[in-house]
Structure 1
Amino acid sequence: MSEVKLSGLSKSFGATLAVDKVTMSIPNGAFVTLLGPTGAGKTTILRLIAGLEQPDTGDVVISGRSVVKDTPAQRNVAMVFQQYSLYPHLSVRDNLAFPLRSPLLKTPEDLIDRKVAEVAEVLKISHKLNNRATNLSGGEMQRVSIGRALVRNPSIYLMDEPLSSLDAKLRSDLRIELKRIQENTGATLLYVTHDQIEAMTMATHVGVLDQGRLVQFGSPREIYENPVNLYVAGRLGQPRINVLPADMFAGAPTGAKTIGLRPEHISQGEGKACDVRRVEHLGDQIRLHLSLEGHDIVTLSENRKNYEPGDTVAIQPRKPLFFDASGARIA
């Protein structure tokens, strides 16, 4: 595995600036997630690293060497796409073995057989090895697609929302499997998603993108607890952070326009009185949907106290985040 560095990377498509001067270091053995909405530039960054697109400016360095003039094959990266991208006429076994049979790798057949068997066991598709790719379920096809990358030993694995088309149970299972595989192999992995749960549960580092710009890069905990602006604060957290006028509670610093309150950072029992509008019982937690002076607030019931719509509960901030008029964080 290798360290990958992006330096001032930019890419435009016509009048659209897809990637805007992105500088980022992906440490050796790290699981890095790029998080952002559709159009933020996530996939374009993957394609620039893989060599499927050429940057307008900037550099891509893998293992200390610039690769911007290398072909995709010369870069030794493995990419998993959102769609399955399998060879329908081949069996699962041959789909998994296909990358290893590249003339550049010259992998012996006995080693191919062993690697295919190992990856199939990890992804729980050993019983499907002789099936045609077209005879698989959607989840099984995506497992094969991921497996085609895992059989190799590339400089970096690039994954473009590989779990987005799967059902919730399978997504949850494969999240755990991917993280376990990455930890056991020490692989360097760059993973694109718009799903904050994937970013929070799998990544060692998260890069938050906004309109092609890298807004913040750090550990999931750092970005969750210390977002640089309101946009980043809103990308992580479920339920989403509550955003209210800063003067709604006492103690706002000079220049603060809004206050951000995570649902778990709202104390109950003292403070301003709110109306309980709705109660969600989710098994491990109870969410309260409140109304305060015309503003909607979502918080968690402390001590799992039972509230009913129409009740009144007093709240006050705990660990508030303040932002100025532009959305920038105020310490």
Structure 2
Amino acid sequence: MAEVSLSGVTKRFGADVALDNVTMTIPDGSFVVLLGPTGAGKTTTLRMVSGLDVPDAGHIMIDGRDMTGLTPAQRDVAMVFQQYSLYPHMTVRENLEFPLKSPILKTPQDQIRRKVDEIADILQIRHKLDNKATELSGGEMQRVSIGRALVRKPSVYLMDEPLSSLDAKLRADLRVELKSIQADSGATLLYVTHDQIEAMTMATHVGVLDHGRLVQFGSPREIYEDPVSIYAASRLGQPRINVLPADVFAGAPSGAVNIGLRPEQIIQGEGEDSFVQRVEHLGDQTRLHLTFKSHDLITVTDAHTELKNGDIVKIRPSKPFYFGADGARVA
């Protein structure tokens, strides 16, 4: 597979800056997830790497080669779009076979059949191989779209929220399968999502984008445990990080405006009084919705807790994050 390197990549659409001087290295064989809300620049980054859009400034390298002026076909990448990209007049099998029949690949027919059957089993669509694409449900169409990329062995896989249209069970199953396929093949995969669970469970690296700027790049654990800003901290973690005024607890450092507390950074049973507003039993854990000095916060507790609405819980912070007025982390 191949390393992908973006250096100072900028893209404008009129007065709007979609990507702002993005520099990032996607290591060979890594599973990189781009996180951020709509408009953050995630899909634009994929389109830059694929060659579907051209940067206004900066360079993109794949496997040490400058991609300037090269078409998508010349870049040896496979892209899965958020919306289905199938040939409606073809069967599922014919759609999956199509990339392998490219004059560039010249794949023997027996290998085509074997690869298609293997991917159809992984994506749970073997029983649909003889159906026309127009006879499939939305989720089945997206699985075929993913399959069209997986049957190939390009330098880089590019995926734009490929699981968003699937039901919860299949989405969970395919998270495991995609990660397994990527790990077994050593593929380089750049994956766009707004789903932090996908990022936490699949990624070797996460790139957090905000209005076209890359604000943090590292492993999911690094970003979760050492966020550079409130924005980066809020991208990972379920429930979301609690952000309160810094002076709500004693001991805030100079320049701190907010304190950030993840559930495990709230110690229960000691400290100051908070009040239970709601108890959510989730099976393996229980979420407590608390009110502390007129501020709302969420933490987790034992699955079999007997706490109920109106109870008093003493809490204190443990190794919290502090942030300044601009949202950046304060040491």
- How far residue 264 of structure 1 moved from its aligned partner, in angstroms, is 2.0
SS of residue in 1 equivalent to 2:68: coil
What is the alpha-carbon distance in structure 1 between the residues aligned to residue 164 and residue 23 of structure 2? 27
Question: Any idea what SS the aligned residue of 1:99 has?
Answer: helix
Cα distance in 2, alignment partners of residues 103 and 23 from structure 1? 35
> Residues of 2 paired with 1:111 and 1:241: CA distance?
49
Residue 74 of structure 1 aligns to a residue in which SS? helix
Q: Does residue 31 of structure 1 match 2:15?
A: no
| Alignment map for 1:257-296 (pairs within 5 Å) | 257-296=257-296
- 1:80 counterpart residue number: 80
Counterpart AA for 2:142: Q
| Amino acid in the other structure paired with 1:246 | A
Q: Which residue of structure 1 aligns with residue 244 of structure 2? A: 244
Equivalent position of 1:176 in the other structure: 176
Corresponding residue of 1:157: 157
Q: How does 1:1-331 map to 2 (within 5 A)?
A: 1-302=1-302, 304-331=304-331
Shift of 1:110: 2.4
Verify the 8 A CA contact 1:268 1:302 in the aligned structure 2.
Answer: no
State the Cα distance separating 1:300 from its structure 2 match.
1.1
Paired residue type of 1:182: Q
Is the CA contact 2:196–2:235 (under 8 Å) kept in the aligned structure 1? yes
- Greater CA deviation, 18-27 or 110-119? 110-119
Rounded to whole Å, the distance in 1 between the matches of 2:40 and 2:6 is 17
Gaps of 5+ in 2: none
Displacement, 1:267?
0.7
TM-score, normalization: structure 2? 0.98
Deviation sequence 1:121-176 (CA, Å, 0-9, x none): 22222222111112222222111110100111101000000011112111111111
- Give me the whole-angstrom Cα distance separating, in 2, the residues matched to 1:276 and 1:26: 44
Instruction: Give the distance between the partners of 2:10 and 2:270, measured in 1 at CA.
Output: 51
Deviation at 1:262, TM superposition (A): 0.3
Q: How much does 1:106 deviate?
A: 2.3
Q: The residue matched to 1:93 in structure 2 has which SS?
A: helix
Task: Give me the identity figure in percent.
Answer: 70
**Residue type at the aligned position of 1:222:** E
How much does 1:303 deviate? 7.2
| Cα deviation digits, residues 208-227 of structure 1 (max 9, x gap) | 00000000000000000000
Which amino acid is 1:78 matched to? A
- The whole-number CA distance in structure 1 between the counterparts of 2:302 and 2:177 is 33
For residues 257-278 of structure 1, the C-alpha deviation after alignment (integer angstroms, 9 at most, x for no partner) is 1100001221111111011111
For normalisation by structure 1, the TM-score amounts to 0.98
Q: Distance in 2 between matches of 1:222 and 1:236?
A: 11
Q: Deviations over 1:32-80 (max 9, x none)?
A: 0000000000000000100000100011101101012101100000000
Give the Å deviation of 1:255. 1.1
- In 2: Cα distance, 1:325 partner to 1:301 partner: 31
Aligned AA for 2:270? E
Contact 2:206–2:218 (Cα < 8 Å) also in 1: yes
**Aligned-pair CA distance for 1:101:** 1.4
Deviation at 1:104, TM superposition (A): 2.3
Q: Deviations 1:190-220 (Å, cap 9, x if unpaired)?
A: 0000111111110000000000000000000
Equivalents in 2 of 1:164, 1:227: separation in Å? 26
By how many angstroms is 1:288 displaced? 0.7
Aligned-residue CA RMSD (Å): 1.1
